[in-house]
Amino acid sequence: MKHVQLTLIGLILVLTGLWASADTIWFDAFAIFNFRTSMLNYTGILAIGAMSVGMLLALRPRGRIESFLGGLDKSYRLHKWLGITALITAIAHWLWVEGVKWAVGWGWLERPARKGARPVYEGLQGWLAGQRGLAEDVGEWAFYAALVLIGLALIKRFPYRYFFKTHRWLAVVYLVLVYHSVVLMKFSYWTQGIGPVVVVLLSGGTVAALISLTRRVGQTRRAVAVVDEVEYHEDNRVLRVAVSLQSRWPGHQAGQFAFVTLDPREGPHPFTMSSSWKGDGKMFFLIKALGDYTNTLPATVKVGDLVQVEGPYGRFSFQGRHPRQIWVAGGIGITPFIARMQSLCEQPDGKAIDLFYSTSAPDAEFIRRVRRRAEQAGVTLHVVIAAEHGRLTAQRIRELVPAWAEASVWFCGPTGFGQTLREDWVAQGRSPDDFHQELFEMR
């Protein structure tokens, strides 16, 4: 997560430094209206800069970017915080516009008298000056739209199927704000260091917005599959969906996930592959009924259905320097570990592994299969049923794994549970880099 924080802070600091070196606020005598102009430019640059990087991350980039951030789940966490940053700075931008107007209207400030005629500009600067009125108007309405759309995206109770549709409209809002920014940014900035950086950000964000609007995000990573098998474990409300790929798939590693479209009206949802890749086009997913959509799947997914699989994504790779690993699965968080155990059955890695499977809704048949897979893979399984054994704690893990200090931890499950374990891990003097966690919250 530190790379997510460093990227966000770094972006703000770079844009702040470039703006500070280009603006004349430091040399002009202080006047509230001149200061207001500088703050408008500053907050506007921060807002459009954050939105631009957020648009680029919406393309679900892989390779070095995904590796640096620690996986697509971490990229989406950065995407979320960029959206919050853009929202806060855009509100500040709007307040500098309207707040001074209010202060003048209330008699708190006096607008300075205009000295002489307005300057007449030629060429590009003249054209931009002629666009100011329109750019201000459309920018204001785009701000209101962004306020609503980003706000909805941050409300977790807002249904995903509506979020999936409304969030795409942010690309249109972004394009309007690009026009607003190009026209209204102080013209002298374009010849300073901030100018080329803004050009790169706006150009990249514009391309990303167009890709999003034409629904081509992840297009080259999509494969068509047919549902081969559907099995529902009623006790723990987990649906097993096995599919056969009908088009090219690059393969995947245990712990990775894909965006699966079971219903085009609902859109793609991220699910972890619960099977290792054997090159035969077969894979399966374990899907927990956690919301409106996943609750309907046992009744709607049928053998023979066509589905779309996009991926693979993620860096939950089980790679590390330690001779021992501790796996902790909370509920449906067992899925990446099932895939890894299948992989270990075919190619052991020699590590000593303890798997803690904590569940509040045990299914006897499901647990029997997990236990059998663990035995085949040489993994020591600890099943913790909340109603019988109480909650799984870090202290209990350390008691059951005396050599815990020689291990790395791989956690997949509820965010709060993971945070508690991570804090205890660090409090015991261990490095947070040896605690690996998959973030399922994509919004």
Q: C-alpha 180: how far from its chain's center?
A: 27
Does 70 reside within a domain?
A: yes
- Of the candidates 139, 137, 119, the one whose C-alpha atom is nearest the C-alpha of residue 129 is 119
Does 276 reside within a domain?
A: yes
Classify residue 30 as left (phi > 0), alpha (psi -120 to 50) or beta. beta
How many angstroms separate the CA atoms of 67 and 74, rounded?
10
- Answer whether 100's CB lies under 8 Å from 32's CB: yes
Q: How would residue 92 be classed by pLDDT, with cut points 50, 70 and 90?
A: very high
Q: Which percentage of the chain shows pLDDT scores above 90?
A: 66
Does residue 108 share a domain with residue 7?
A: yes
State residue 174's pLDDT score: 97
Does residue 174 share a domain with residue 105?
A: yes
CA distances for 281 relative to 1, 56, 251, 263, 276, angstroms: 33, 31, 9, 21, 11
Q: Stretch 95-124: mean pLDDT, rounded?
A: 79
Does residue 186 share a domain with residue 47?
A: yes
- Of the candidates 411, 415, 168, 174, the one whose C-alpha atom is nearest the C-alpha of residue 268 is 168
- Of the candidates 145, 150, 207, the one whose C-alpha atom is nearest the C-alpha of residue 177 is 145
Q: Stretch 295-320: mean pLDDT, rounded?
A: 92
Does residue 203 share a domain with residue 229?
A: no
| 115, pLDDT greater than 90 | no
Does 113 reside within a domain?
A: yes
Q: Stretch 5-34: mean pLDDT, rounded?
A: 90
How many angstroms separate the CA atoms of 255 and 83, rounded?
27
State residue 306's pLDDT score: 96
| 147, pLDDT greater than 80 | yes
Residue that terminates a domain, selected from 313, 339, 354: 313
Does residue 157 share a domain with residue 39?
A: yes
State residue 154's pLDDT score: 86
Give the model confidence (pLDDT) of 415-438 as tens digits. Answer: 889 999 999 999 999 998 899 987
- Of the candidates 97, 123, 256, the one whose C-alpha atom is nearest the C-alpha of residue 190 is 123
Give the model confidence (pLDDT) of 131-146 as tens digits. Answer: 999 999 999 999 999 9
How many angstroms separate the CA atoms of 325 and 352, rounded?
6
How many angstroms separate the CA atoms of 368 and 383, rounded?
11
| 259, pLDDT greater than 90 | yes
Record the pTM: 0.88
Token pair for 134: 């329109």
State residue 361's pLDDT score: 83
Q: Which percentage of the chain shows pLDDT scores above 70?
A: 97
| 213, pLDDT greater than 90 | yes
Q: Stretch 79-90: mean pLDDT, rounded?
A: 96
Does residue 370 share a domain with residue 272?
A: no
Token pair for 75: 């990229």
User: Which residue reads 């704000």 in tokens?
Assistant: 177
State residue 114's pLDDT score: 67
Does residue 46 share a domain with residue 179?
A: yes
| Mean pLDDT, the chain, whole residue set | 91
Residue that terminates a domain, selected from 291, 313, 335: 313
* Number of folded domains that form the chain: 3
Give the model confidence (pLDDT) of 384-413 as tens digits. Answer: 998 888 889 999 999 999 999 999 999 999
| Secondary structure of 161-202 in HEC code, one letter for each residue | HHHHHHCCHHHHHHHHHHHHHHHHCCHHHHHCCHHHHHHHHH
Query: Sign of the CA dihedral 250, 251, 255, 259?
Result: positive
Q: Stretch 175-199: mean pLDDT, rounded?
A: 96
Q: Stretch 303-321: mean pLDDT, rounded?
A: 91
Domain that holds residue 101: 2-213
Residue that terminates a domain, selected from 213, 233, 262: 213
State residue 170's pLDDT score: 95
- Answer whether 244's CB lies under 8 Å from 281's CB: yes
Tell me which of 161 and 12 has the higher pLDDT.
12
In terms of DSSP H, where are the helices of 58-131? 64-69, 72-105, 123-130
DSSP string, 352-375: EEEEEEEESS--HHHHHHHHHHHH
